[in-house]
Amino acid sequence: MSGIVKIDDEVFSTDDFIKLLKLDGRFENLMEDIVRDKLAVRAAKKSGIVLTDEEIQEKADQYRRVHGLHRARDTNDYLDALGVSLDDFESFLMDMLYHEKVLEQVTTEDAIEEYFQLHSPRFDSIEVSHIVMDSEGGAREMLSYLADDPESFREMAAEHSVAETASHGGRIGKVLRGSLQSEIEARVFNAEAGDLLGPFPAAAGTHFEIFRIDEKRPAALDEETRAEVVRLLRDEWLLARSKEHSIEML
């Protein structure tokens, strides 16, 4: 059992560190990230990806610049303080390169285009606002009032909504498919701009929501959608790799 930090006479050990991560809920997410990285590195090596000395040196130089390690002595002192050898440092850099290279193969322009075409409906979005009321009766009265005076939506949201969005006139903003409760989402995405919908029971069942569709945006492969497609491609690929191995938390 090795120590990490000492406060007066009290030593905080690696075991203490792991217990703390587990108790505050960070351990599982951290281990998931580590496992995913390791799986990507294994897949890269298995696929025959080769790293050159120039690429490793470039990655090392990039690391040094980020951490302000301008001289070789600075790097050695930094690694010594971490208790990390030069071999460990090189292995770390190589794993980073393997990880980057294999995921570049997964997220090519052709792969992004194909994924978007196959799943384009999931990238449809809407601009939506809502008013949240304490009671269903109050929500129905509000809906009736808005039907007669739809232009007062922002004003009514600011005055009567109990949601934090009241200060913004009820504006939620952009919503993608999968962001709302399934029974609400179907109606919201089939509605037209300007439509009022509800009242719907909120998730906790203690409040009721009225939605207004501000704008509909059909799927487009813009910068934001491209980034989401890249994330999904990586996640699905890593999930597939995880099924090829036996993974057990010790």
pLDDT score recorded for residue 246? 85
Q: Which amino acid is at 123?
A: F
Amino acid at 210: I
Give the CATH fold of the 125-217 domain.
Chitinase A; domain 3 (3.10.50)
**For residue 159, with 0-12 CB atoms within 10 Å meaning exposed, 13-18 middle and 19 or more buried, which class applies?**
exposed
Per-residue confidence (pLDDT) for residue 247, from 0 to 100: 81
pLDDT at 13: 87
pTM: 0.71
Give residue 159's pLDDT.
95
Q: What is the pLDDT of residue 1?
A: 55
CATH (one of 1.10.10, 1.10.4030, 1.10.3430, 1.20.1260) for 3-106 = 1.10.4030
Residue 205, both tokens: 């069942």
DSSP for 191-216?
Answer: S-TT-EEEEEE-TTSS-EEEEEEEEE
Whether the CB-CB separation of 113 and 220 falls below 8 Å is answered with: no
Which is it for strands 171-176 and 3-7: parallel, antiparallel or unpaired? Answer: unpaired
Q: How far apart are CA 102 and CA 169, in angstroms?
A: 46
pLDDT in the model for residue 66: 95
Q: Domain residue spans in the chain?
A: 3-106, 125-217
User: Cα(48)–Cα(35) distance, rounded to whole angstroms?
Assistant: 20
Encoded tokens for 194: 């300007």
Q: What is the pLDDT along the chain (250 residues), one digit of tens a residue?
A: 577 888 888 888 888 888 988 999 898 889 988 999 999 999 999 999 999 999 999 999 999 999 999 999 999 999 999 889 999 999 999 999 999 999 999 999 999 999 999 999 889 999 999 999 999 999 999 999 999 999 999 999 999 999 999 999 999 998 888 888 888 888 999 999 999 999 999 866 789 999 999 999 899 999 989 999 999 999 999 999 988 888 887 7
Residue pair 51/98 in contact by the 8 Å Cβ criterion: yes
| Type of residue at 28 | E
How far apart, in whole angstroms, are the C-alpha atoms of residue 224 and residue 107? 15
